[in-house]
Structure 1
Amino acid sequence: MAALAADLMAGALLLWWLDLAEPLQLSTWWQHWQLLTLTRYRPDAVALRVTGLLGATSFVLLSAVAAVLIWQARSRRTQQAGATPGLLNPIVAATALGLGACSHGGGDVARTLTTRQALFEGDKTVVKVWPLRFNQHAWSILCFDTLYCRAWYARMTLGDDTPTRPSAAYGPGYLEHWSAGVHVDGFPPPAEIKWQTRDGRWRETRIDIDALFKDRRVRHNVPREEVRGARNGRPAVPPSILIEVNGSVIRIYMRAWIGTKHMQKAGNEYSYHRDDLILVKTLNY
């Protein structure tokens, strides 16, 4: 192993000499052959470069292993009693303070974990472009109280081929967590919807999303001074356009994720946003 390591290191030295010294005219072929006496072999040019590459790779790997071992040794020393805290100690301490604040609440400790609060509530900027507008969106459809229900929009078909239950069966919050997953660039031709109600009647309609949102205005309930992160007057996430088919009624909604500067749910640091479901239009057939 020692002889092999010596050969590899000699190859690395030769690779450096051939590739760096020669263009600078600092060596001669005679000097190259003098260097070859450092090895037990007489490789040709290709073998010489392969050996040099292996030597360089081994050198890098050994250096990395040595660096990791040295770092671990220093970390163990810093964890001993009376040692100066290492780089990770402040992070661990901050995490412990945060966990303590979550379990006990209130007091001065609570203020130490409000990094998100300090960042968002300290934002004094106001959106320059108002109202917020969009040129991309996502869409989805939900069907209730139908025997068949299909929508075609943006080269995608969504809906139900089997009977659906009435919305009342799901309670008053039946649309609470509804969001769209089909991304759309621009505004394709109108959505085509075909469905059959429980009385056996077939219905068809076309909904022109482009015309319905001609002003490209985002529907939401966040005041201008409260909006956060809407660069150039556009929300960070494209809004969702949602189509509800409920018996003989069609409703079109928009749900937009809008960042806010204050918590929308007290004590929940992950509630710095609103995504209200806004009714845009109701159609009866």
Structure 2
Amino acid sequence: MQSEQSARRLAGPLYGQEPWPIRFHEHTFVAALYNTLACSFLYNNYQFGTQKRDWTGQVFERPSGPGPEDRSARWNSGHIIVPKNGQTFPGPVELAWTSLDNTPLQASVDLDAMFKDRLVLHNVSREEVKEAWLKTLSIQPVTPKILVELNDRTVSVYMKAMVATEKEQVPGDPYTQSRSEPVLAWKHTY
């Protein structure tokens, strides 16, 4: 059983708050890139992509290639971003890339502004949500995955979070009492 102090730390400002609508305090970040000649994502002092610097400062770059037919595998990893100094997001996602037509592009995606209300995006109605699970969220909130995808000239931001449901999603299978599907939060073509 976790202590109240550790529950307060995990839940942050959500501790003891009304669980509906579902909100988040920390998140997992996932970067996905397809169809670029070179690409670099910078987020939380980490670099993702096909364009990187080695220890001497030399830049190495390579094309990213097309996306897989089944993109569900991209959700299997990620970097947990723990809030610092009360800030859920450590800053914007900075992107620099070369599109397939050899155009150099840059973008800054401000996740803090995009998710200013810290609402978990999902497709489950209030009536479908498992009541016992919902009651635990003020102590141990949901940690959604936020995926920033770059595909040639289009940047898309998705959120995916597990939401427990009263009913089985596959009849007869008690292990399917939840839903977890990506929801598009934002999209822009440059």
TM-score (norm 2): 0.74
Q: Which residue of 2 aligns with 1:251?
A: 156
Distance 2:125 2:18 in 1: 13
2:39 is paired with a residue of what secondary structure? strand
The question of whether the paired residues in 1 share the 8 Å contact of 2:169 and 2:176 is answered with yes
Q: Which residue of 2 aligns with 1:262?
A: 167
For residues 227-246 of structure 1, what are the structure 2 equivalents within 5 Å?
227-228=129-130, 229-230=133-134, 231-232=136-137, 236-246=141-151
Report the CA distance between 1:182 and its aligned residue. 0.3
For residues 84-233 of structure 1, what are the structure 2 equivalents within 5 Å?
128-161=18-51, 162-167=62-67, 170-171=68-69, 174-179=70-75, 180-185=77-82, 186-228=88-130, 229-230=133-134, 231-232=136-137
The question of whether the paired residues in 1 share the 8 Å contact of 2:29 and 2:79 is answered with yes
1:176 is paired with a residue of what secondary structure? helix
Q: Deviations over 1:22-76 (max 9, x none)?
A: xxxxxxxxxxxxxxxxxxxxxxxxxxxxxxxxxxxxxxxxxxxxxxxxxxxxxxx
Q: Which residue of 2 aligns with 1:96?
A: none
User: Which structure dedicates a bigger proportion of its chain to helix?
Assistant: 1
When residues 191 and 234 of structure 1 are mapped into structure 2, their CA distance, relative to the original with a 3 A threshold, is farther
Instruction: Give the gaps of 5 or more residues in structure 1.
Output: 1-126
Give the letter for the 1:270 counterpart. Answer: Y
Distance 1:251 1:234 in 2: 31
Instruction: Give the gaps of 5 or more residues in structure 2.
Output: 1-16, 52-61, 83-87
TM-score (norm 1): 0.51
The question of whether the paired residues in 2 share the 8 Å contact of 1:236 and 1:258 is answered with no
1:244 is paired with a residue of what secondary structure? strand
Report the CA distance between 1:165 and its aligned residue. 2.1
Identity over the aligned pairs, expressed in percent?
32
Q: Deviations over 1:118-151 (max 9, x none)?
A: xxxxxxxxx9531101110011111111111111
CA RMSD of aligned residues (A): 2.0
Report the CA distance between 1:224 and its aligned residue. 1.5
The question of whether the paired residues in 2 share the 8 Å contact of 1:134 and 1:216 is answered with yes
The question of whether the paired residues in 1 share the 8 Å contact of 2:142 and 2:162 is answered with yes
Q: Which structure carries more relative contact order (alpha carbon 8 Å, separation 6+)?
A: 2
Report the CA distance between 1:281 and its aligned residue. 0.5
The question of whether the paired residues in 1 share the 8 Å contact of 2:24 and 2:142 is answered with no
Aligned length: 155
Give the letter for the 1:166 counterpart. Answer: P
Q: Deviations over 1:188-237 (max 9, x none)?
A: 11110111112211111111110000011100011213223132458754
